[in-house]
């Protein structure tokens, strides 16, 4: 396995506060070294996430070709080339890997993974979507959303709901956007959501986006680690409706409300904060306990997260 980006020494002069775990904090699995192209987190569980695997590769350059390729029930590797303009939500069926070639963009529409499984979405720029950019719902499982960029959309960049499970959201950049990532759509959906909505969010760059980074209902444990938060005017992470969220080794800069319990009319969940870097930011709110993380992962030192994430998150940062 390829080696991780070298870790830098912590700079003693940097103005920061490191937050310790609250009582009853989640215990970490054994650490392992990963490259920025590796799948880590919840999408490695439940049999893993392989997308199209060894299936044939097709390249699409139009909305009609993309719609057809995504809707096929056969396994496929789909390459997106150029800018594809579309509207609404395009259904993505099971066993698909969707990868953007250099400069590929999806403009005006989004992807809907509705009850399907084993889907990988990487290296795409989503802009100006008129619903959600990526919507994962109705017990969809084993989804990996990695190295994408999201800007100027109507609703969520990546929304996960209605009993979906075993999902990793990694190395994405959200900017010039309000509602970033919702996990669990409704306070009244406990019967479908409790025991599911297990998601890992790691090494994402929430670049002056406003809120929902993520906003969590019911899922436990939800793992939020090594993300870089910059000037988020609303809030960072919210744990609500009995959720259990581990907020670990993130870097918050200029965020007055980095994490809290409850949101709007939603009742509080649990939130454990461990080893976060808070620069010109609030202290955050914690409480309760979170279930243990079952997979191996490496948490970068929080003092290094800003440089690592800003150099590597978003579309166009990896060759695939």
* Residues noted as catalytic: 212
**Letter string b/e over residues 191-220, b meaning 16 or more CB atoms within 10 A of that residue's CB:** ebbbebbbbbbbbbbbbebbbbbbbbbbbb
CA-to-CA distance for 251 and 256, rounded, in angstroms? 13
- Answer whether 229's CB lies under 8 Å from 258's CB: yes
Dihedral, CA atoms, 214, 219, 221, 227, nearest 10 degrees? -10
Strand partners, 125: 105, 149
- Answer whether 285's CB lies under 8 Å from 261's CB: yes
- Cα-based angle 177, 180, 186 (whole degrees, multiple of 5): 135
CA-to-CA distance for 138 and 271, rounded, in angstroms? 26
The DSSP element (H or E) to which 118 belongs, if any, is strand 117-122
């Amino acid at each position: 396995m390829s080696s991780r980006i070298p870790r830098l020494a912590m700079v003693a002069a940097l103005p920061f506060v490191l937050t310790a775990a609250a009582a009853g904090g989640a215990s970490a699995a054994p650490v392992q070294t990963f490259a920025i192209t590796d799948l880590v987190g919840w999408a490695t569980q439940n049999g893993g996430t392989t997308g199209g695997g060894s299936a044939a590769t097709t390249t699409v350059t139009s909305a009609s070709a993309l719609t057809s390729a995504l809707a096929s029930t056969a396994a496929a590797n789909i390459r997106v080339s150029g800018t594809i303009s579309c509207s609404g939500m395009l259904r993505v069926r099971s066993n698909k890997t969707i990868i953007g070639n250099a400069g590929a963009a999806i403009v005006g529409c989004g992807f809907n993974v509705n009850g399907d499984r084993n889907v990988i979405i990487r290296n795409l720029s989503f802009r100006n979507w008129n619903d959600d950019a990526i919507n994962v719902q109705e017990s969809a499982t084993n989804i990996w959303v990695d190295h994408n960029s999201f800007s100027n959309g109507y609703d969520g960049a990546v929304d996960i709901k209605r009993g979906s499970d075993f999902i990793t959201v990694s190395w994405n950049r959200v900017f010039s956007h309000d509602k970033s990532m919702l996990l669990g759509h409704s306070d009244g959906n406990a019967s479908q959501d409790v025991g599911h909505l297990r998601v890992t969010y790691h090494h994402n760059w929430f670049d002056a986006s406003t809120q929902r980074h993520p906003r969590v209902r019911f899922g436990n444990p939800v793992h939020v680690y090594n993300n870089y938060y910059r000037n988020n005017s609303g809030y960072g992470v919210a744990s609500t409706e009995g959720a259990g969220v581990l907020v670990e080794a993130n870097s918050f800069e200029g965020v007055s409300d980095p994490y809290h319990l409850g949101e709007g009319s939603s009742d509080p969940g649990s939130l454990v904060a461990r080893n976060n870097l808070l620069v010109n930011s609030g202290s955050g709110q914690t409480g309760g306990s979170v279930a243990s993380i079952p997979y191996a992962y490496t948490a970068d030192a929080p003092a290094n997260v800003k440089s690592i994430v800003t150099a590597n998150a978003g579309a166009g940062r990896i060759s695939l």
